[in-house]
Amino acid sequence: MAATEVNLEQQPSHAAPPESPPVVLLIDDAPLMHRLLAARLKDEGVEVIGAFDGQEGLDLAQLQRPSIVLLDLDMPNMHGFEILRALKNDPRTIGLPVIIVSGSGRPDDKVRAFELGAIDFVTKPFDAAELRARIHSALRLMRLLRLLEQRAQIDGLTGLWNRTYFNERLASEINSATRMGQGVALVICDLDHFKKLNDTFGHTAGDAVLQGFASILLRELRSCDVACRYGGEEFALILPHTSLSEAVTACERIRTALEAQRWRKFPGIRATGSFGVTTSGVSNLNDPTAWVEAADRALYSAKDAGRNRVHVYNPRLDAGCAPDGQLRRAG
């Protein structure tokens, strides 16, 4: 592979997929309300979906994960407060913003709605412009909250996902793969002799290598893959819908790209990485901790074998544990 240069002044970034329009779920037993809302929001850049009873509304909320829920109170079979309580007690829908749209203007109904978790209360008959403004205000608020939440899961130096996000995403991907009968691979990779690199060239150079490696990961991986900074010079990759051989191929591609990288501001640096790959856990297939342990053991087998290589987890590698059962850490 021909040597390439990396512009160290550019931070890696995540390519954001095109945003789909916000989805507004209306739960109301009156067909007129559904027609009226669809007409009033037709040109507002949102998609309106509807449910005519409480259970249908709960099912749609769980399935579609709408951006916002408009909820009537006075409905047959299940009262609006029951629906609101169910939404806020379900971890899948607890974060959905709910605006009550009701013919009741009683103060005690408003107080109860807010106590149960509603973010707004609009009384029928409502002014269409006011309802649009309240919906857009709620959508803006949720976008800001999601942005803050996402920023808390991004590593500030590399722009990759951080350890917190990795822990959540790995558990989710393992559960999904188990349920759907699909493959998923986990890779733990470590930059070789990173402490020596820092000591020789300085921490500015070390930061540049971390950023450059993050750029390689974002360039070489698919959009569905998840690249995280696991900590220090360690990185973790979650590769959904991936077999063991496909994961090894991807790691070899990344490894050779890193080895061939030339660092414009630090021409003396030659960085390499070691990779541990697994498609299962050490003892429990559904335990994320066991998956990390398996990938770790493969990684340190690669370190022991000379670094700058990709190793796959094998139960025979368990001998690579230290006598106390703790994994050895190598630079």
| Residues 197 and 287 occupy one common structural domain | yes
Whether 233 sits among the annotated catalytic residues: the reply is yes
Please give the average per-residue pLDDT across 199-204, as a whole number.
92
| Residues 314 and 183 occupy one common structural domain | yes
| Residues 172 and 295 occupy one common structural domain | yes
Q: What is the pLDDT of residue 316?
A: 64
| Residues 167 and 283 occupy one common structural domain | yes
Q: Which of 100, 131, 151 is the last residue of a domain?
A: 151
Q: Which of 109, 126, 151 is the last residue of a domain?
A: 151
State the pLDDT confidence band at 325, using cuts at 50, 70 and 90.
Answer: very low
| Residues 188 and 75 occupy one common structural domain | no
Q: What CATH number did the domain enclosing 49 receive?
A: 3.40.50.2300
Which among 113, 89, 112, 85 is positioned nearest to 101, based on CA atoms? 113
CB atoms within 10 A of CB 173: 21
Q: Name 237's Cβ contacts closer than 8 Å, sequence gap at least 6.
A: 185, 186, 187, 188, 189, 217, 221, 225, 226, 227, 228, 250, 251
* The two structure tokens encoding residue 7: 């512009």
**Letter for the amino acid at 309?**
R
| Residues 37 and 114 occupy one common structural domain | yes
pTM: 0.61
| Residues 129 and 199 occupy one common structural domain | no
| Residues 55 and 130 occupy one common structural domain | yes
CB atoms within 10 A of CB 108: 8
Share of the chain above pLDDT 70, in %: 89
* Average of per-residue pLDDT values in the chain: 86
| Residues 146 and 166 occupy one common structural domain | no
| Residues 315 and 170 occupy one common structural domain | yes
Q: How many domains does the chain have?
A: 2
| Residues 183 and 208 occupy one common structural domain | yes
Q: Which of 151, 184, 212 is the last residue of a domain?
A: 151
Q: What residue numbers bound the domain in which 49 lies?
A: 23-151
State the pLDDT confidence band at 91, using cuts at 50, 70 and 90.
Answer: confident
Share of the chain above pLDDT 90, in %: 61
Catalytic option among 130, 220, 233, 252: 233
| Residues 144 and 194 occupy one common structural domain | no
Would you say 67 and 24 are in contact if contact means Cβ atoms under 8 Å apart?
yes
Q: What CATH number did the domain enclosing 189 receive?
A: 3.30.70.270
State the pLDDT confidence band at 318, using cuts at 50, 70 and 90.
Answer: low
